[in-house]
């Protein structure tokens, strides 16, 4: 074998060794890339799970906050309603007193003062969200009215309210006190 052939043989061996080394490195890099792709997919899956959990927790908290606000509002209305019911009796008394007021003399001056107190009490109740129900001439509704009598009437349809004996009141969308009424048969 001559030196050229020997050198050629050595170069070929070196190239083969380099090819083997490069193939090994390429395989290692491909394995590493595959491992990284798997790890990336796992990380994406975990990130999506965390995002879903976070979004659920956020929605749960928003629902909780709304429920607490609604409960607080209901509690306020119940507490306010129980106190205001007591003032409605005073309002009824003032209303009856004003219906029988004297037209002249010293009693008329007192009646004017009582009317001012009556109006002030009404404005305070209205500022708390208390509003009187309209009942006369309306159709009887057991959710809003309490029938004290049922009478024949030629002027009213059956089930129509003839007269309101005691004014009913609402606070918000809740009945504070039902109206006491007479109903046509």
156 burial (CB, 10 Å; 0-12 / 13-18 / 19+) is middle
**Cut 0.75: pTM above it:** no
Residue 129 falls in which region: left (phi positive, over 0), alpha (psi -120 to 50) or beta: left
Which residue, 159, 164, 162, is CA-closest to 134? 164
Task: Name the residue with tokens 């004297």.
Answer: 102
Q: Could you tell me if residue 183 is inside a domain?
A: yes
Residue 29 token pair: 């890099």
Q: Could you tell me if residue 55 is inside a domain?
A: no
Q: What is the mean pLDDT of the chain?
A: 87
What's the pLDDT at 147?
A: 92
What's the pLDDT at 7?
A: 64
Residue 22: pLDDT above 70? yes
Q: Could you tell me if residue 87 is inside a domain?
A: no
Torsion, Cα 53 58 63 69, to 10 degrees, reads 150
Q: Could you tell me if residue 177 is inside a domain?
A: yes
Range of the domain at 163: 131-185
Q: Could you tell me if residue 165 is inside a domain?
A: yes
Q: Could you tell me if residue 79 is inside a domain?
A: no
Residue 140 and residue 159 in contact, taking contact as beta carbons nearer than 8 Å: yes
Q: What is the tens place of the pLDDT at every residue in 156-172?
A: 888 899 989 999 999 88
Q: Could you tell me if residue 151 is inside a domain?
A: yes
What's the pLDDT at 121?
A: 93
Residue 130 and residue 176 in contact, taking contact as beta carbons nearer than 8 Å: yes
Q: Report, as an integer, the average pLDDT of 3-17.
A: 64
Q: Could you tell me if residue 14 is inside a domain?
A: no
* CATH number of domain containing 184: 2.30.22.10
Continuous segment of H or E residues that includes residue 148: strand 145-151
SS3 142: coil
Query: How many domains would you assign to the chain?
Result: 1
């Amino acid at each position: 074998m001559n030196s050229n052939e020997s050198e050629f043989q050595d170069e070929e061996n070196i190239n083969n060794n380099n090819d083997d080394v490069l193939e090994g490195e390429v395989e290692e890099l491909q394995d590493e890339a595959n491992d990284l792709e798997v790890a990336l997919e796992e990380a994406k899956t975990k990130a999506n799970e965390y995002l879903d959990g976070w979004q659920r927790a956020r929605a749960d908290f928003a629902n909780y906050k709304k429920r607490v606000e609604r409960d607080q509002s209901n509690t306020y209305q119940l507490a306010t309603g129980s106190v205001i019911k007591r003032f409605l009796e005073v309002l009824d008394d003032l209303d009856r007193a004003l219906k029988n007021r004297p037209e002249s003399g010293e009693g008329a001056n007192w009646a004017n003062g009582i009317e001012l107190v009556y109006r002030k009490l009404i404005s305070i109740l209205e500022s708390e969200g208390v509003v009187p129900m309209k009942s006369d001439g309306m159709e009887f509704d057991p959710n809003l009215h309490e029938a004290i009598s049922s009478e024949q009437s030629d002027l009213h349809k059956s089930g129509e309210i003839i007269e309101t004996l005691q004014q009913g009141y609402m606070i918000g969308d809740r009945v504070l006190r039902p109206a006491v009424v007479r109903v046509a048969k």
